[in-house]
C-alpha cells in the first residue's frame, strides 16, 4: 500500500519506519525514529522488525522503498511505502533529523 507523507506522519507512533537509502544519503535528513536498513540488507534484517506492527519503508523518491516493501510483505509483514519518498516529505516541510552517530 502506498501512503502519502502526511499519512505516514500521522502514523509515526504506531508504525515502524524503515529507511532504505544508503548511509551517505541520510545526511539529507531522515524521519525521526526511523530505523536505517539499506535496501541491499533488507533480506537479512527482517527478523529485527516487529511482525505485530505495520512497516513503512522510505527512500529518496519511492522506487527503492517499493522494492523493499514487496520483499517485506512477502515475508509476512504489513508493509507500506511512502509515495514520493523523502523528496516529497521535505517538499511538504515535514520534520527531519540528522542520523545519530554510532
Q: What is the pLDDT of residues 39-97, one digit of tens each?
A: 999 999 999 999 999 999 999 999 999 999 999 999 999 999 999 999 999 999 999 99
Residue 17 has φ and ψ, to the nearest 5°, of -95, 125
* Residue 102 pLDDT exceeds 90: no
Parent domain of 50: 2-91
Number of domains in the chain: 1
* Residue 18 pLDDT exceeds 80: yes
3-state secondary structure 29-78: CECCCCEECCHHHHHHHHHHCCCCCCEEEECCCCHHHHHHHHHHHHCCCC
What pLDDT, in 10s, does the model give residues 21-50? 999 999 999 999 999 999 999 999 999 999
Q: Has this prediction a pTM greater than 0.85?
A: yes
Instruction: Let me know if residue 35 belongs to a domain.
Output: yes
| Distance (Å, whole) CA 29 – CA 26 | 5
List the CATH number of the domain containing 68: 3.40.250.10
Amino acid at each position: 500500500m502506498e501512503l502519502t507523507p502526511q499519512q505516514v506522519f500521522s502514523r509515526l507512533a504506531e508504525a515502524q519506519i524503515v529507511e532504505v537509502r544508503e548511509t551517505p544519503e541520510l545526511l539529507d535528513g531522515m524521519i525521526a525514529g526511523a530505523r536505517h536498513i539499506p535496501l541491499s540488507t533488507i533480506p537479512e534484517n527482517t527478523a529485527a522488525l516487529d511482525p505485530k506492527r505495520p512497516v513503512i519503508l522510505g527512500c529518496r523518491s519511492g522506487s527503492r522503498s517499493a522494492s523493499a516493501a514487496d520483499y517485506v510483505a512477502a515475508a509476512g509483514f504489513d508493509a507500506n511505502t511512502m509515495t514520493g519518498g523523502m523528496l516529497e516529505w521535505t517538499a511538504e516541510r515535514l520534520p527531519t533529523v540528522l542520523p545519530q552517530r554510532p
